[in-house]
Amino acid sequence: MLDIRIPISALFLGVGALLAFYGAFFHPSTPATANINLDLVWGLVMFFFGLGMGAWTWRSRRSGDAIERRIPADREKTAARSR
Amino acid sequence: MHAHWIDYAVLAVYTAFVLGIGLVLRKSVHTSDDFFVSGRRIPGWVTGLAFLSANLGALEVMGMAANGAKYGVLAAHFYWIGAIPAMVFVGVFMMPFYYGSKARSVPEYLKLRFDEKTRALNAISFAFMTVLASGINMFAMAKVFQMLLGWSMDASILISALVVLGYTILGGLSSSIYNEVLQFFLICFGFAPLVAIGLHDVGGWKGLVARMPPGFSHAWAGLGAASTNPMGVEWLGMAMGLGFVLSFGYWCTDFLVVQRALAAEDMTAARNTPLIAALPKALFPFLVIAPGLIAIALTLHPLTGTAPLLQKLPDGTYDYNNALPLLLERYYPSGMLGLGLTALLASFMSGMAGNVTAFNTVWTYDLYQAYIRKGRSDAHYLKMGRFATIGGIVLSIGAAYLAMHYNNIMDYMQLLFSFFNAPLFGIFLLGMFWKRTTGHGAFWGLLMGTLAAFGHYILTQLGVLHYPSAMAANFYQAIYAFSVCFVAGILISLATRPRSDFELEGLVYSLTPRIRDDRAPWYRRPAILGAGVLAVVVVLNILFW
């Protein structure tokens, strides 16, 4: 089964990069955000969150705690229950 | 405001992700158990965030902003006394029965504990309610898309329904849970800057308080009498109606949220599911109610050179439901607007998918398999689950048009809960903690409680009973429904024959061995987690007294 941390990481990397790119090159703003490039700043925050989530997944896979690896045991548990 | 290509790009990336997740998860769906309860193999932190997010649909996000604008900080009670104690209760005390009994749904638990007719009554009323709730989510989202993107209501409803249909039909409950977790993070990232900018704009917390009506910044100070607070409820109605009956009725018995815990990988993860959800839940008013406070402040005392934010309606109230979209429009530049819309879209879709997955499970297991086609193959029920997904979405579209008649969608939702969840909680309380409760007592108690709620509703509509606000009427309706159900349940149980202790093992508190947690690390023990969350809520209530 898919490890949920992978799509979370990928989504935030993608959307964060998209916003940061748009903010850096197009400088959008509203009257209340005139002093800050919100797209750029928040895009980077999201991008780094995505990186952090990716690092967590990578670390736990290395330490053998990946969600997928629990599945064979769970399958047996479920099969035993249904028997 | 017109959305730019970047806003559509962010929306498109998210939509592609959820459909992609559905496609990947499809490979893991082999049996009906995989489709309806995710094969019981999801880690606790994932089911915990899903437990929180399943309830955090667009209805909740927009409705809570509307409540913030209408009632002020009082709206936070829907989170603090209106959710946290019940979430701790279901995790610590009730989950051992739900998860331990191996029931696949709440109605199925009722069948194990009581009898077939109680299950049927609950399954039918739940299926009805969940379709209505799903429709409200749909309506809420269509309204936002109409306002911010200029799409027609019909087009918004149809497109969003197709996406939800796509991923729920592919991956079942797992798809739904995964999207709920994505949504949790999107809501946090999508609304945190909005609150920060809005607060800064109105001059911080002090500036916000100065611009709001008197009493809007207090959670308890105005509850001495119904006339001294905007909700028109005094502390007893709040504590008993919302804090006890409606809250426990929803969080402890509503299959939409309980289903997330049933997908957990083991008993500890299942018990911790509501507790993991409770901490962010306690803090979420800062994300979802604060925008409503900012909106009413900018309406009553607009900043120099700006128009009032919310439109005044002919009856003298404001169009509270639009508080959140209007703030997004005012504060977010292109790109961020796309992110805000994506957070709303995600909450809409997960709210709807949550209802649809709960509906297809109850329909397939508790109605179709139990009464229409018994003893068919597992593949047959898996196929029926997928058909039920389509049926649930079609019915939700119809319900979306019903929701348009209410000016505060949250009032409408509480009305539904008072009809169905409030009496159900009475039966659960009796059934789980008093082994003498019988199937007849449960069935007739449930029916009489629901009828009492209908009777109360009719009397209120006819003007025979009068309350200061719709919310006050809902709270008292819930109290009456619960009380009638509880008393009738006890009396009828005493007059009928109970089941033997042997049959009730694992289903009733006094006949179930206590679960010992002392081997788990402290941060995984439900009692410690529960006490910690309750302490946080007490502090928040004191801070905003």
CA distance B392 to B127: 9
pLDDT band per the 50, 70, 90 thresholds, residue A8: very high
End-to-end CA distance of chain A: 23
B506 shares contact with chain A (CB less than 8 Å): no
Q: What are the Cα distances from residue B103, in Å, to A20, A55, B151, B245? A: 47, 37, 43, 24
Q: Residue window 12-51, chain B: list those with CB within 8 Å of chain A.
A: 13-14, 17, 20-21, 24-25, 28, 33, 39-41, 43, 46
> What sign has the CA pseudo-torsion A34, A37, A41, A44?
positive
What is the 3-state composition of chain A as percent helix, strand, coil, each rounded to the nearest 5? 80, 0, 20
- Could you identify the residue written with the tokens 């910044």? B217
Residue B31 has phi, psi (to 5 degrees) of -125, 170
Question: Are the beta carbons of B33 and A7 separated by less than 8 Å?
Answer: no
Check residue B411 and give its pLDDT: 64
CA distance B13 to B193: 21
CA distance B309 to B323: 8
**Surface-to-core class of residue A58, CB atoms within 10 Å of its CB (0-12 exposed, 13-18 middle, 19+ buried):** middle
Domain ranges within chain B, ordered by starting residue: 5-409
Residues 6+ positions from B152 with CB-CB distance below 8 Å: B146
Question: Are the beta carbons of B178 and A7 separated by less than 8 Å?
Answer: yes
Q: What are the Cα distances from residue B92, in Å, to B274, B402, B523? A: 9, 37, 14
Task: Number of A to B CB contacts under 8 A, please give it.
Answer: 105
Q: Select the residue from B30, B35, B334 to test the A interface by mutation, using most A Cβ atoms within 10 A.
A: B334
Q: At what angle do helices B267-283 and B44-54 cross, to 10 degrees?
A: 50
Q: Is B331 helix (H, G, I), strand (E, B) or coil?
A: helix
Q: Can you give the residue range of the structural domain that contains A74?
A: 5-82
Measured between CA atoms, the residue of chain B closest to residue A28 is: B333
Taking the CA of residue A55 and the nearest CA in chain B, the distance in Å comes to 17
Taking the CA of residue A15 and the nearest CA in chain B, the distance in Å comes to 6
Amino acid letter for position B167 = Y
Taking the CA of residue A49 and the nearest CA in chain B, the distance in Å comes to 10
Nearest residue to B166 via CA among B416, B325, B352: B352
Question: Are the beta carbons of A4 and B181 separated by less than 8 Å?
Answer: yes
Question: Are the beta carbons of B330 and A70 separated by less than 8 Å?
Answer: no
CATH topology of domain B5-409: Sodium/glucose cotransporter (1.20.1730)
B102 shares contact with chain A (CB less than 8 Å): yes
Check residue B241 and give its pLDDT: 76
Check residue A72 and give its pLDDT: 46
Q: Is B312 helix (H, G, I), strand (E, B) or coil?
A: strand
Question: Are the beta carbons of B335 and A81 separated by less than 8 Å?
Answer: no
CB-closest option in A11, A29, A45 to B333 = A29
- Could you identify the residue written with the tokens 């209410």? B406
Written as tens digits, the pLDDT of chain B (545 aa) is 567 889 899 999 998 988 888 888 888 888 888 787 777 778 888 899 988 888 887 777 888 898 888 888 888 888 888 889 999 998 888 888 888 888 888 888 889 888 889 999 889 888 888 888 888 878 877 877 777 778 888 888 888 888 888 888 888 888 888 888 998 999 999 999 999 999 998 888 888 888 888 878 787 777 777 677 777 777 877 877 777 788 888 888 888 888 888 888 888 888 899 999 998 998 888 888 999 999 988 888 888 778 787 788 887 788 888 888 889 888 999 899 999 989 988 888 888 888 888 888 888 888 998 889 888 888 898 889 888 889 998 998 888 877 776 655 666 666 777 778 888 888 988 998 898 999 999 999 999 999 999 899 999 888 888 888 777 888 888 889 999 999 999 999 999 998 888 888 888 888 877 777 777 787 778 888 888 889 988 898 888 78
User: Which positions in chain B touch A30 (Cβ < 8 Å)?
Assistant: 330-333
Question: Are the beta carbons of B33 and A78 separated by less than 8 Å?
Answer: yes
A70 shares contact with chain B (CB less than 8 Å): yes
